[in-house]
Chain A
Amino acid sequence: MGNIKVNDNDQQIATPIALTELIAINKVLQPDMVSVQVNGEFIDREAFGSTVIKDGDQVDFLYFMGGGAR
């Protein structure tokens, strides 16, 4: 098991784990819409599949939020 942080919350998870799998485990509603930072660096969407999350990593999921005017 490893300890990672997802949006500042501690998460215990079997590491290493593929980013795509972490997205699935965290039940991200629209996986193709989420923006991801690992240890403060944005990951290109095309690299989600090849990105591996290790023990101690800090992962941030950022979501689109579009409303405002009308």
Chain B
Amino acid sequence: MNLTDQQIERYSRHILLQDVGVEGQEKIAAGRVLVIGAGGLGAPALLYLAAAGVGTLGVIDGDVVDLSNLQRQVIHFTDDVGRAKVESARAKIAQINPDVKVITHQAFFTEDNALEIIKDYDFIVDGTDNFPVKFLINDACVMGGKPFSHGGILRFEGQTFTHLPGTACYRCMFGSPPPPNAVPTCSQAGVLGAIAGMLGTIQAAETLKFLTGVGELLTDRLLTFNAKSMNFKTVNVRRRERCPVCGAHPTITELHESEQAACEFNPRQQ
């Protein structure tokens, strides 16, 4: 594709970057990215990916905007309370950057639709809030050979890594989901709103790095930070030979979402 004069001006700060340039911007424009969850992580990720000119942005979320979301889900405004999150997100993306084609899926990401939805995208951003879906995203992306960015936040902390086929996956690191309620979620334990912005923005940066091929992705490394001390740490992780989904002899060969018994925290039961 050829950038128009307007696009060259809009993306000039990208184009000025030696590592990106016109060629990199064209790669971004050709990119197809799926953001799962238009919430705390998905909101900042979507805003930056839209501003960056990602050609196609998919958004999947079955929820509607709630007043308690607005403290951190910066793509949704006060007037959006009660509106489907995907529609609220689509409207903001269109205002930020009409170049972006938005595909909305007003649904939750499940074992039944997972592979079908991800197959059309180059890169997936996990912006979900519960372990069963995080493991489902991992398994679907491993099986579908799709790169993705994992993200998790809690209280004052965030955690993220990027998976490419062949690098360590979420199950390499954590095996299987914790029992329901064993580990609190943000809706139970709270989270500082800006933490969501920090982590979702890291995920957006990883996405843009992936699309442009710039730098080293956060693969085989788990980044964690604690905003109380503002310490960032990366732990090198190694793919597990005996990983149940990406190892040499996988035992998980079809998608199956684990149970989340904490019904009041399960978005699919609301």
Interface residues in chain A, defined as those with a beta carbon under 8 Å from any beta carbon in chain B:
7-8, 30, 32-33, 35, 37, 40-42, 44-45, 60, 62-70
Which of B10-18, B91-99, B128-136 lies at the interface with chain A?
A: B128-136
B152 on interface, CB distance cutoff 8 Å: yes
Q: What would 16 A/B residue contacts be, using CB atoms closer than 8 Å? A: A8-B233, A32-B182, A37-B238, A41-B238, A42-B173, A45-B175, A64-B174, A65-B157, A65-B158, A66-B130, A66-B131, A68-B40, A68-B186, A69-B267, A70-B63, A70-B129
B42 on interface, CB distance cutoff 8 Å: yes
- Closest chain A residue to B42 by CB distance? A69
Min CB gap A21→B, angstroms: 21
Q: Which of A40, A42, A66 contacts B129 (CB 8 A)?
A: A66
B187 on interface, CB distance cutoff 8 Å: yes
Please state if B151 and A68 are interface contacts (CB–CB under 8 Å): yes
- Closest chain A residue to B39 by CB distance? A69
Q: B182-218, CB under 8 A of A: which get 1 and which 0?
A: 1111110101000010000000000000000000000
- Closest chain A residue to B191 by CB distance? A67
The 9 A-B pairs of least Cβ separation, nearest first, read A69-B39, A67-B186, A65-B152, A69-B37, A69-B129, A65-B159, A68-B41, A68-B129, A64-B183
- Closest chain A residue to B131 by CB distance? A66
Most buried by A among B187, B191, B233, B235: B235
Considering only CB atoms and an 8 Å cut-off, how many residues of chain B contact the other chain? 48
Please state if A35 and B174 are interface contacts (CB–CB under 8 Å): yes
Known: A35-B174, A68-B37. A62 touches B152 (CB 8 A): no
The answer for the CA separation of A15 and B147 in the assembled complex, in Å, is: 41
Please state if A66 and B235 are interface contacts (CB–CB under 8 Å): no
Please state if B134 and A66 are interface contacts (CB–CB under 8 Å): yes
Please state if B172 and A68 are interface contacts (CB–CB under 8 Å): no
Min CB gap A62→B, angstroms: 6
Across the interface, which residues of A come within 8 angstroms of B237, CB to CB? 37, 40, 42, 60, 62
Across the interface, which residues of B come within 8 angstroms of A8, CB to CB? 233, 235
Most buried by B among A42, A44, A45, A62: A42
Known: A69-B128, A69-B129, A70-B267. A40 touches B238 (CB 8 A): yes
The answer for the CA separation of A30 and B189 in the assembled complex, in Å, is: 15
The answer for the CA separation of A38 and B164 in the assembled complex, in Å, is: 23
The answer for the CA separation of A62 and B170 in the assembled complex, in Å, is: 11
